Structure 1
Amino acid sequence: MPRIGVTGHVRLAEGTAELVYAELVATLTAHGDGALHGVTCLADGADQLFARAVAALGGTYEVILPATDYRTVVGDRKTFDDLLGKAVHVDYAPFATSEPAAYFAASELLLRRVDHLVAVWDGQPSDVVSSTANVVRTARDHGLPVTVIWPAGARRA
């Protein structure tokens, strides 16, 4: 069973979530024969869309949260709680406070658990430690296959 991880933008412009979700479903469908396991940090935006897509395809997913206070910083707690409740396993990075170092530490833990990374990324570089660009760069540096998706018409908020 393939173990697919996700990284991606948190703030998506209006109408972009639907485009990204459709592309995630298509990408994940191409990765398995029905058996699929996802790994996500369950951030707003791409990560939560990924969890929904994995579940819709009959797969399972686990969650790695960046810090013990992470629930307090998510945008929609009801959606977060619902998705978290469907996870087969939940771990925490060793941080009490959600901050860029904690976000990147959770992403590094994720990269160690997956066979492939899906990046919902507009391709723009960034020097921010917790950025999608940095997670993609780290995955590639470790020889992990990366599929970048950014559908036509997608925009960041």
Structure 2
Amino acid sequence: MSKRVVRVGVTGHVRLTRGSARPIYRALVDVLRAQQQHGVLHGVTCLADGADKLFARAVRDLAGTFDVVLPEPPGGARDIRRLLRRARWVLRMPAHPRPEARYAAASAEMLRQCDLLIAVWDGNPDGIHGGTAHTVARAREMGVPVRVIWPPKAKRRGHQVGGGSASHSILVPAVAASTSG
């Protein structure tokens, strides 16, 4: 009998402080490891800087597989090329002159492919179309469960958090009620 595949997507902030990487990575590993209890781990990511790259590394380190939905051509950084080579498949989204439209389209495709969304998010509802807050809102509209992580030591570069979550990991209550049972 084959094990069920647990498809986990990610959205999260890109401008994380250097000191945020380790606690966010550990929180991602904890949440992903818990998902492995339900089946074979498979991630879906846009592979943006920050949270998405940490997610891909955590999935890989837990012997899971991942797919990439690229909103724009990847940069030439060695770490991106390495992660792209490890992806099961890579979907390149059509070009669009506005970056936020490219990211919104890529995030929508990622949400269609996942059973759970992990949001590495400070809880601030402000942001651009296609950004973290927008993707979380879209997931909620689609009925995709959202797991928010924002460890106490996590910080964004050049951003003052107003009303963000200080909890390590929470299941968004509106989604928890619709997914229990």
Question: Residues 62 and 97 of structure 1: is their aligned pair in 2 closer, same or farther, counting only changes over 3 Å?
Answer: farther
Partners of 2:57 and 2:92 in 1: CA distance: 20
SS for the counterpart of 2:122 is: coil
Q: Superposition RMSD on alpha carbons, in Å?
A: 1.4
Deviations 1:96-118 (A, max 9, x none): 55711001100000000000000
For structure 1, which segment, 76-85 or 99-108, has the greater mean C-alpha deviation from structure 2 after superposition?
A: 76-85
Q: TM-score, normalised by structure 2?
A: 0.80
Deviations 1:55-75 (A, max 9, x none): 0000000000013xx224xxx
Instruction: Report what 2:26 is aligned to.
Output: 22
Partners of 2:74 and 2:98 in 1: CA distance: 9
Instruction: Give the CA deviation at 1:127.
Output: 4.2
Amino acid in the other structure paired with 1:108: A
Residue pair 1:9, 1:121 contacting (<8 A) in 2 also = yes
SS for the counterpart of 1:148 is: strand
Q: Which has the higher contact order (CA 8 A, sep 6+)?
A: 1
Instruction: Give the CA deviation at 1:32.
Output: 1.4
Runs of 4+, deviation exceeding 6 Å: none
Partners of 2:78 and 2:136 in 1: CA distance: 29
Instruction: Report what 2:82 is aligned to.
Output: 82
Instruction: Report what 2:57 is aligned to.
Output: 52
Residue pair 1:35, 1:58 contacting (<8 A) in 2 also = no
Partners of 1:125 and 1:96 in 2: CA distance: 25
- Find out whether 1:71 has 2:74 as its counterpart: yes
Partners of 1:77 and 1:154 in 2: CA distance: 24
From 3, 6, 20, the counterpart of 2:10: 6
Partners of 2:128 and 2:61 in 1: CA distance: 32
Deviations 1:16-72 (A, max 9, x none): 0001000000000011136200000000000000000000000000000013xx224
Instruction: Report what 2:177 is aligned to.
Output: none
Instruction: Report what 2:172 is aligned to.
Output: none
Counterparts of 1:1-157 in structure 2 under 5 Å? 1-33=5-37, 35-67=40-72, 70-72=73-75, 77-95=77-95, 99-157=99-157
Deviations 1:78-125 (A, max 9, x none): 111110110010001111557110011000000000000000000001
Q: TM-score, normalised by structure 1?
A: 0.92
Partners of 1:60 and 1:11 in 2: CA distance: 25
Unaligned runs of 5+ in 1: none
Aligned length, in residue pairs: 152
